[in-house]
Amino acid sequence: MRRSGLLACIALAFGALFVAGNHSRAQGEPYLQKRAAMVRDQIEREGVSDPRVLAAMRDVPRHLFVSPSFHAKAYEPYPLPIGEGQTISQPYIVGFMTQILRLKETDRVLEVGTGSGYQAAVAAKVAAEVYSVEILESLASRSRRTLSDLGFRNVVVRHGDGYYGWEEKSPFDAIIVTCAGGHVPPPLLRQLRNGGRMIMPVGGPFMTQNLVFIEKDARGSITNRNVLPVAFVRLLGH
């Protein structure tokens, strides 16, 4: 074969690959665009500014954490059902709770209430390790499978009562509680490292709930403050 013919064949092959790649990207583009719009309009515009959190939320495919019937609504500004009477949180709340913890790339994080696994996935993009406890076995199994399929190797999901945390893996640099309790569980406070941060919705099912931000200083003294009124599903177990 002449050199010019060989070059033409190579060019055609690369052209086919380019078209195939563009077609593949085009297939996923509706969700990429929706995800970018979600971050821009619902999260960044509302005050979440940590570039690592914004990048994580642009990257994590929220639609894959809900059933196919809800894929088209996955990037809208509200919670969605995930079965067992539970929900995936509103995107802004996920971004807000992740940012307020000031996660570092070396941090070990405890999550209470895995649910769909979406919050764990976002935190895992920013921190080193995420240990998540889910009291409903069906959700624990499903979220474990979703996270594994998406390649998350730094998230471990356990079926259990999150009220008691995960003592064997403590202390934690940060704790995220994604379900509302009437009080902050003492085991979680004990498992929070000195210098650690915690965020949790506090309030009963028929009461006003507030996101409470908790810090433990270098000497182990604890301070807390209300940061945002919210509505979360209740903390089960205990």
Beta strands in the chain (DSSP E): 80-83, 86-88, 108-112, 129-134, 155-159, 172-177, 192-202, 209-216, 222-230
Structure tokens at 13: 């092959």
3-class DSSP state of 229: strand
List 89, 116, 143, 170, catalytic entry: 89
Structure tokens at 7: 């070059």
Active site residue 89: yes
Nearest to 227 by CA among 196, 197, 194: 197
Nearest to 145 by CA among 55, 59, 233, 64: 64
Which residues are marked as active site? 89
